[in-house]
Amino acid sequence: MKRFAYGKVLYIDLTTGEYEVKPIEQEEIKRYLGGRGLNGKLLYDLISGKEDPLSPENPLIFGVGLLTGTPIPSSSRYTVTSLSPLTGGFGDGNSGGFFGPEMRFAGYSHIVITGRAKKPVYLYIEDDKVEIKSAVHLWGKDTWETDALIKEEMGDSELQIACIGPAGENMAKIACIINNLTRAIGRSGMGAVMGSKNLKAVAIRGSGKVRVASKEKVFKVLKDFRELIKSDMSFKLFSKYGTPGLVDVYNSRGVFPVKNFQESWLPDAESISGEVFIKKYAKKAKACYNCMVHCSHFYELKDSHKEEGLEFESIGALGPRIGITDYPTILKANHLCNRYGLDTIGAGDVIGFITEVFERGFVSKEEVEGLDLCWGNSELVPVLLKKISHREGIGDLLAEGSYRAALKIGRNTEYYAMHVKGQAIISADPRGLRGWGLGYAVASRGADHLRAYPVVEYCFTPEKAEEIWGIREAVDRTAYAGKGKLVKWCEDVRALADSLGICKFITRTAYLLPQQLNQLIEAITGVSFNADELMKIGERINNTEKLINIRRGFSRKDDALPERLKKEPIPEGPSAGMTIDITDILNEYYQERGWDLKTSHPTPQKLAELGLK
């Protein structure tokens, strides 16, 4: 068996200031590939499950994919993993841009950070040089200020920096980590974990190269790759509009949440469509490292600022979810979230939650500091984002996320928290997307669309569904049949993409199949897997993450959607009248995984098969 060319693991203890570098065992790479997969295995080995997510004992792990920084297009992704202060279980986030490739060029596949510095610090890594530098002068600065000041301090404008803003410093549980000013490690509260360690930033510079096994195979793969990607539906949508193009996709299906999921269809969605964004605000396309999709755009508000990186999820969360339907308000809110270091999904979700429970009389005006909480109040959004980021007044409650805020309020307000395991559901209503609903419920990091990302539910043909899962109806978004099989398969294949460091917009539908992914692996590493072997790796990655959740006390009761989505049908639009009940398809999912139906725990036979304990 040929050896993988990958990188080293840098272990840093912020309490002692000591660090060491260790190699990765080749067997572990063959079993978990890299990136998300190895992050999960490292976390599994380093914790007992008893750690407080905001304690020094909780590791914070940065990991690049096996193909990150290689000639493979869109190989820019890196993952940050830890126990989540938001869900209490397994947590991670994934980002593109240029930080991940730079980490690879510096020679590191993973950076494992433990302990807590006595005073604020940032890490400076330049190839073999590792320094823990004071960040006292940076504490309190937003992410844009931090990025500029570190680059000025080090005299290097090309330095790649992942940092937190005030939200992370104040350990808001919906805080994220920002790189390249607008790229976010967005979910699970990873910014809060970073803040709990008094770690303001990781700044990295690398001068190395990533070697490939066969230049001839790489050239052949790249030629085929480009031809396939250009013919794919995802490329045609995202290369023109970016993810704002998804507004029409989801609204036309009647699954675009409005006013905290009270509705799921927006009659005037044209005002925030991808077409309007491109015509009125976008100035130029922007790509992550080595990406031919260039899904991002520089955009400009005449009375405000210039920026890039608007995403569909930010439009949905900071727009219709809180009753906003104008781009200037959404763009300004998105900008503030980037600078504060706030997850846009979590921020929009908790604002929608508190607006509804106030509207319904569960909290008084005094309890919300006299604020005018009503749908569509554009002046209120920046006020709440600042309060959340600094944990000021009502912001201290909202910084906990909607589920934890509901628990503190009581009065049966949890019914209005649109979450799974404490993590906010995205702007795609599962009442009209059965597979997505199951995917949210069983995702290892809580309500997460990207763990399964089951776009095949409406992109594949019935013939393709029958070929893979044996059930033609699996790709009917309104049907329950075959969804357990579909979601399990999607989760495992998505884990491969995350562990390779390839953007999901490439693997969304074009390079989705394991045999296609193997072509990329073999060209870069010289090592080949068959489809079954790769799917077993994907399964092992998912089961490892779920075993961490089991250590944290999660069970079947946590694999559930909000009661509201079962009891309240969508009132109007293309999916009018629909509710969702995942009971039967949850059983099918567990059976496909080889888990006990009562506990949702893997059986001893399944663990033995995958080499897990």
Any idea what the Cα angle at residue 570 is, between residues 565 and 575, rounded to 5°? 115
Predicted pLDDT at 600: 87
pLDDT tens string 395-444: 999 999 999 999 999 999 999 999 999 999 999 999 999 999 999 999 99
Q: At a CB cut-off of 8 Å and minimum separation 6, what does 415 contact? A: 562, 563, 564
Between the two ends of the chain, the Cα-to-Cα distance in Å is 26
Q: At a CB cut-off of 8 Å and minimum separation 6, what does 256 contact? A: 247, 250, 264, 265, 266, 269, 316, 320, 427, 428, 429
Predicted pLDDT at 6: 85
Any idea what the Cα angle at residue 191 is, between residues 190 and 192, rounded to 5°? 90
pLDDT tens string 98-127: 999 999 999 999 999 999 999 999 999 999
pLDDT tens string 245-287: 999 999 999 999 999 999 999 998 999 999 999 999 999 999 9
Distance between CA 314 and CA 424 in Å, rounded? 13
Residue with tokens 């005030």: 166
Distance between CA 236 and CA 75 in Å, rounded? 19
Q: pLDDT confidence of 519, banded at 50, 70, 90?
A: very high
Residue with tokens 């300004």: 332
Q: Give SS3 for 21.
A: strand
Lowest-confidence segment of 110-114, 296-300, 541-545 by average pLDDT = 296-300
Lowest-confidence segment of 179-183, 219-223, 360-364 by average pLDDT = 219-223
Distance between CA 591 and CA 613 in Å, rounded? 20
The domain limits of the chain are 8-205, 242-418, 424-561+582-610
Q: pLDDT confidence of 233, banded at 50, 70, 90?
A: confident
Q: pLDDT confidence of 1, banded at 50, 70, 90?
A: very low
DSSP string, 103-118: HHHTTEEEEEEES--S
- What token pair was written down for 348? 């929009």
Residue with tokens 């390779």: 500
Predicted pLDDT at 510: 87
Q: Which long-range contacts (CB under 8 A, 24 or more apart) does 372-379 make?
A: 374/323, 375/259, 375/322, 375/323, 376/322, 376/323, 376/324, 376/325, 377/323, 378/324, 378/326, 378/329
Which CATH number does 424-561+582-610 carry? 1.10.599.10
Give the H or E element holding residue 201. Answer: strand 199-205
HSE value, Cβ hemisphere, 13 Å, CA-based, for 613: 3
Strand 160-163 to 177-179 pairing? antiparallel
Lowest-confidence segment of 2-11, 353-362, 416-425, 551-560 by average pLDDT = 2-11
Predicted pLDDT at 302: 79
In this model, does residue 63 exceed pLDDT 80? yes
In this model, does residue 149 exceed pLDDT 50? yes
Predicted pLDDT at 340: 98
Predicted pLDDT at 479: 96
- What token pair was written down for 380? 């209120």
Q: pLDDT confidence of 306, banded at 50, 70, 90?
A: confident
Residue 235 has φ and ψ, to the nearest 5°, of: -60, -45
CATH-assigned architecture of domain 242-418:
Orthogonal Bundle (1.10)
SS (H, E, C) 270-323: HHHCHHHHHHHHEEEEECCCCCCCCCEEEEECCCCCEEECCCHHHHHHHCHHHC
Q: At a CB cut-off of 8 Å and minimum separation 6, what does 231 contact? A: none
Predicted pLDDT at 599: 87
Distance between CA 358 and CA 355 in Å, rounded? 5
- What token pair was written down for 560? 């559930």
Fold of 8-205: Aldehyde Ferredoxin Oxidoreductase;  A, domain 1 (3.60.9)
Distance between CA 46 and CA 55 in Å, rounded? 14
Predicted pLDDT at 305: 76
The whole-number average pLDDT for the span 575-603 is: 94
Distance between CA 309 and CA 156 in Å, rounded? 23
Spell out a b/e string for 241-268, using b for 16 or more CB atoms within 10 Å of the CB, else e.
bbbbbbbbbbbebbbbbbbbbbbbbbee
Distance between CA 593 and CA 487 in Å, rounded? 10
The whole-number average pLDDT for the span 133-151 is: 98
Distance between CA 32 and CA 189 in Å, rounded? 24
Mean of the per-residue pLDDT values for the chain? Answer: 95
Residue 283 has φ and ψ, to the nearest 5°, of: -115, -35
* Helix, strand and coil percent figures for the chain, each rounded to 5: 45, 15, 40
Query: Which of 498, 494, 481 is CA-nearest to residue 455?
Result: 494
Q: At a CB cut-off of 8 Å and minimum separation 6, what does 429 contact? A: 254, 255, 256, 257, 261, 264, 565, 570, 575
- Between helix 483-500 and helix 434-442 the angle, nearest 10°, is 60
Residue 7 has φ and ψ, to the nearest 5°, of: -170, -175
Query: Which of 89, 82, 339 is CA-nearest to residue 193?
Result: 82
Handedness of CA 587, 591, 594, 598 (dihedral sign): positive
Are 97 and 183 in contact by the 8 Å Cβ rule? The answer is: yes
Residue with tokens 């460091």: 501
- What token pair was written down for 599? 């506990």
Q: Give SS3 for 172.
A: coil
Distance between CA 378 and CA 327 in Å, rounded? 11
Predicted pLDDT at 3: 57
DSSP string, 541-569: HHHHHHHHHHHTT--GGGS---HHHHHS-
Are 310 and 331 in contact by the 8 Å Cβ rule? The answer is: yes
